[in-house]
Chains A and B, each alone.
Chain A
Amino acid sequence: MHSGPYLNRRTLMRRSAAAGLLSLPAVGALTSCASGGGDNEEVERGEATENNPFGVNADAELEVVIFDGGFGDQYALDAEEIYSGSYGSVEHSKTQEIQSRLQPRMVQGDPPDVINNSGAEAMDIAALIRNDQVYDLTELLDAPSLDDPDVTVRDTLMPGVIEMGQFGSETMWRLNYAYTVYGQWYSQTALDRLEVEYPRTWDEMIAVCEKARQQGIAGWTYAGQYPYYFNFTLYPFIGKIGGADVLRAIDNLEPNAWRHDAVRAAFEAYHELTARGFVLQGSPGLSHEESQDEWNQYNALFIPNGSWVENESRENTPDDFRMAVGPPTSLDSSDAMPFETLWASGSEPFFVPAQAPNAPGGLEFLRIMLGRESARNFTSLVSSLTAVRGASDGMDLPPGLTSASEVLAAAGDNLLLPRLPDWYRQLNNEEIGGAIAAMMAGDIEPDEAINRCQQAADATAQDDSIQKFQHV
């Protein structure tokens, strides 16, 4: 061994290799820019007029960042064209990496004016609100709407849109532009072939599944890798059985909220699907796309999902599929809320950063988006409903979306709005999702699943590092 006094080439290389090992990229690389931050020049406001309620400075540039996901960005380009017709030019960009692209800019105080904060890499809006980095949208809500100056923007919005922008107070921080209907998605063709009606009570559900099984078709499939898809029907199911207060208690992380009888009834009903073998074999390991494919191939009747599924699975949906959505099947006639009750709410969030140089322009852009022209354009481009009330009336919609607007109309005011998914994402996706995954895979009984949910909710309630919210 050459441990002599000389630093020869080999030892040198070995030592530099050892030093190289230290270069394991830690989160440090991310944090190195944390304490930077310069102030951004704010654009001067112009004079507010009837057509320009926020006093947008016509010379100022507007910067819009759009999430490049299932909705694309054409709808935004079209709205920007309307904007630049009256005001300054628009700098448009699209990305799938909202967080990695924009978080450094948020930290430095140099954000764009409008952010479509969506996708798997969305920024944590609650944390941004806590740090005063989000612009209060009350001004937008109270402004006259684009199409009718006598009606405020607030009155043009669908129910649940304003609530989805609130985080524990009356202030609306974000605008959810798309409108999603959650429920049990099915193929009318498949039900017709079985000669059954859409099940309205759980007994009917069992009967339909039994009949399907005789034909070699599973009653249900689901995205086992994302078991919180089950929450899309489970939460409104719980709400229907026990009333909206049960869901509010769950959202508020109240002690023993999960031990309510309605929760137990819902869990037991779902567990029955597994116990009786009505769930498509292999579902626990399927991704959302795989489960949708199985459903499209008529291997299963029902799938818990949201109204984006029609667009997402378009390529694999047979022409004669006649996609439709129904409200979650009721338990029985003793339910607290009627059969038509369902979960529908805004999705696809937009917000204006508090430090945006052209915040009035950002508000005006959102006001344009909420105009009828842009809303209808959005619906025809990406086949999704929008947050604008009645915007899709009279439009020729694909079958799934038609069905979604029908059940929405039938529901009237009986809408449920669980907030757990966006208030406590980790609790909803990992803990409750995990408990439901285990129960639906047949690994645990409903009692244990409920225990796990309650324990996880308690742990979240006691965890100081997680920001808490309450229904207002």
Chain B
Amino acid sequence: MEAHQRERTGASPPASTTLLAVAFFLPPRFTPERVRYDRRYRKLDQYRFISWFLAAPLLIYALFVISPFVQAFFYSLTDWSGNSATYNFTGFDNYERLWNDDKFREALGNSVLLLVLAPLITLALGLFFAFMLNAGGRHRKNQAISGVFGSSFYKIVYFFPQVLSIAIVAVIWARIYSPRSGALNEGLGVVGLDSWRQEDWLGGDLAIWCVLAVLCWSFVGFYVVLFSAAMSAIPREIYEASLLDGAGRATTFFRITFPLTWETIRTGWIYMGIQALDAFALVNIMVPEHGMDVIPSYLYEKAIRDAQAGYATAIGVVLFLVTLVFSVLMMRLGRRDRIEF
């Protein structure tokens, strides 16, 4: 009897897509047999398990993250001032205005410059320092590799800026850039570079480089620690083998350390890129109102100072797209075979 039944169901046609979709919302116990013996059931079961397991966080995520995003797209099509509950639907006017807005282009240019340079510099420095801390020192007895002298101390020092809130970092650096008593001008004077002193670091064309420097300074310590962790996971035997083959420091770095920490670097790259795209606190605190803007600070000015929340939302949507394109690009470009060790 049992055997007969199994044969019967086995012969039944595959379940329809609708039935599969319905089954997604049913517990396994109540899943119709036609679905259960379908080829695709295994995958369905897998995703069903995960989604139901994540139902609560997904719901919260949809409510507080996805839905504001969707709303933002809608408000970017209105002339909402941000002060009242009334607005008019204006179609793509905001985007058209954005296209012709020179100040926005300038801000976009600055943001893209930071997006390209900040991760490049920060990660390069982070990698270099981490390598020196972990494998850059002299060879000691019984040690294939070791860090430079005092590396454990440096590791802590590098991390200091990360402990400070970004607002404090910005205030401190604004002081450093201050023309009359700031450490930068004073320092340049001490080493005899008087002609390099500036009357105004943050108000003119140099501002973007000043912001870039602070951005890199404040994040490099985080990457030193991150990369140090990744590097210490590399088995010592690999280093020993390369040493036996006569590899120098540079070869060790480019042939062993770099490829084996690539996954971490790529993650770090995306994270740092997003930090660079933001840079809001630094620009808002350090740079005067008539100075340079980045997209988030321009957005803030439009939304808060000029009461043009609709237009600001359109800027926010563009920022979202830029971020999205950046992360997708980084995910695609950086894909490599993972080396298991």
Contacts and interface: CB of A to CB of B under 8 A. Distances in A.
A224 B84 contact: no
A465 B179 contact: no
A29 B84 contact: no
Contact of B312 (A27, A108, A124): A27
A283 interface: yes
Contacts of B106: none
B69 interface: yes
Nearest to A223: B288
B290 A109 contact: no
Interface stretch (A128-136, A235-243, A306-314): A128-136
B313 A290 contact: no
A434 B178 contact: no
Contacts of B308: 465
Contact of A131 (B50, B86, B305): B86
Interface in B278-328: 288-290, 299, 301, 303-309, 311-313, 315-317, 319-320, 323-324, 327
B306 A26 contact: no
B199 interface: yes
Contact of A284 (B203, B312, B338): B203
A24 B319 contact: yes
Interface in B49-71: 50, 61, 65, 67-71
A429 B198 contact: no
A31 B69 contact: no
Nearest to B271: A21
B189 to A, nearest CB: 12
B50 A24 contact: no
B274 interface: yes
Given A24-B323, A282-B179, A437-B290, A133 B84 contact: yes
Contact of B69 (A26, A290, A429): A26
Nearest to A281: B199
Interface string B203-235: 110000000000000000000000000000000
Contacts of A121: 304
A226 B288 contact: yes
A112 interface: no
B289 A107 contact: no
Interface residues on A, range: 35 or more
Interface string A238-269: 00000000000000000000000000000000
A106 interface: yes
A221 B133 CA distance: 48
Given A12-B50, A32-B71, A282-B199, A27 B316 contact: yes
A134 to B, nearest CB: 10
Interface in A274-304: 280-287, 290, 294
A29 B97 contact: no
Contact of B199 (A285, A425, A466): A285
A99 B201 contact: no
A27 B203 contact: no
A49 interface: no
B72 interface: yes
A2 B338 CA distance: 9
B305 A107 contact: no
B304 A434 contact: no
A123 interface: yes
A32 B63 CA distance: 10
Given A226-B289, A430-B289, A285 B303 contact: no
Interface of A: 1-2, 5-7, 12, 17-19, 21-24, 26-32, 34-37, 99, 103, 106-109, 121, 123-124, 126-128, 130-131, 133, 224-227, 280-287, 290, 294, 425-426, 429-431, 433-434, 437, 441, 443, 465-466
Given A24-B320, A109-B85, 10 more contacts: A21-B270, A22-B324, A23-B65, A26-B68, A28-B71, A34-B309, A133-B83, A224-B179, A282-B199, A466-B306
Interface of B: 43, 46-47, 50, 61, 65, 67-72, 75, 79-87, 97, 174, 177-181, 185, 198-204, 267, 270, 274, 288-290, 299, 301, 303-309, 311-313, 315-317, 319-320, 323-324, 327, 331, 335, 337-338
14 contacts: A7-B46, A21-B327, A24-B323, A26-B68, A26-B72, A26-B317, A31-B72, A103-B83, A126-B307, A226-B288, A280-B180, A282-B180, A284-B179, A285-B180
The 6 A-B pairs of least Cβ separation, nearest first, read A28-B72, A282-B179, A434-B290, A28-B68, A285-B200, A124-B307
